[in-house]
């Protein structure tokens, strides 16, 4: 998955630091009973504001790879986390379970309402898998190869679909 350039929407340093969040644990190793990936893009006034690497990874350690930096945990991984600035939320849980966008932003300790995502406020336009999502974005279920796009303000970026082929995710 290519890394996304630009200023991150909010820093990873605001994220939870080990205690459970919404019942989601932080474990010393990644859990793989349920292992899927969702892509989240956030545009603020038409400009991509990537997710930062390290959200949901306590004491992240950046490991250089041929494709850029990849964060691993020095302490623990929440079941919802981000390894790189590529927009991919890794859902790695000890059981098959439903997780939502709200739980991810709660781990990140960022707000998500009908008029705010992270520090950015304004009219939200939300897409799920390329189609307009009319409901509350916090209730969006994170699942295998889902594409979530949130636009704050105007202009609204056309919905973009992630090409998962060749990613190994």
Residue with tokens 């690497």: 53
- Can you tell me the distance from the alpha carbon of 59 to that of 15, in angstroms, rounded to the nearest whole number? 11
- In tens, the pLDDT along 6-65 reads 999 999 999 999 999 999 999 999 999 999 999 999 999 999 999 999 999 999 999 998
Number of domains the chain is built from: 1
143 found inside a domain? yes
- Can you tell me the distance from the alpha carbon of 89 to that of 84, in angstroms, rounded to the nearest whole number? 9
Residue 74 burial (CB count, 10 A): 10
CA-CA distances (angstroms) from residue 99 to 56, 91, 93, 145? Answer: 14, 8, 10, 14
Residue 68 has pLDDT above 90, yes or no: no
**Of the candidates 149, 159, 157, which has an alpha carbon nearest to the alpha carbon of residue 41?**
149
4 found inside a domain? no
- Can you tell me the distance from the alpha carbon of 20 to that of 7, in angstroms, rounded to the nearest whole number? 28
- In tens, the pLDDT along 101-138 reads 999 999 999 999 999 999 999 999 999 999 999 989 99
Q: For residues 34 and 96, is the Cβ–Cβ distance under 8 A?
A: yes
77 found inside a domain? yes
78 found inside a domain? yes
> What does R_g of the chain's alpha carbons equal in angstroms?
15
Quick one: pLDDT band at residue 169, thresholds 50, 70, 90? Answer: confident
127 found inside a domain? yes
Beta bridge partners of 58: 76
In angstroms, the first-to-last Cα distance of the chain is 9
161 found inside a domain? no
**Of the candidates 4, 35, 23, which has an alpha carbon nearest to the alpha carbon of residue 107?**
23
Q: Record the pTM.
A: 0.95
Q: Please tell me the predicted confidence (pLDDT) of residue 22.
A: 97
159 found inside a domain? no
Q: For residues 138 and 112, is the Cβ–Cβ distance under 8 A?
A: yes
CA-CA distances (angstroms) from residue 129 to 20, 34, 57, 162? Answer: 30, 21, 26, 9
Residue 142 is part of which domain span?
A: 12-152
């Amino acid at each position: 998955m290519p890394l996304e350039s630009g200023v991150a929407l909010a820093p990873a340093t605001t994220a939870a630091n080990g205690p459970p969040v919404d019942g989601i644990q932080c474990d010393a190793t990644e859990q793989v009973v349920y292992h899927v990936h969702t892509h989240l893009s956030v545009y603020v006034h038409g400009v991509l504001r990537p997710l930062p690497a390290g959200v949901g990874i306590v004491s992240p350690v950046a490991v250089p790879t041929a494709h850029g930096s990849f964060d691993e945990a020095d302490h623990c991984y929440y079941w919802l986390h981000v390894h790189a600035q590529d927009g991919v939320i890794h859902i790695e849980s000890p059981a098959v379970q439903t997780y939502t966008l709200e739980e991810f932003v709660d781990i990140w300790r960022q707000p998500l309402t009908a008029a705010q995502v992270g520090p950015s406020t304004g009219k939200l336009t939300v897409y799920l898998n390329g189609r307009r999502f009319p409901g509350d974005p916090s209730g969006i279920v994170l699942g295998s190869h889902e594409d979530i796009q949130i636009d704050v303000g105007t202009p609204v970026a056309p919905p973009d679909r992630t090409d998962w082929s060749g990613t190994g995710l």
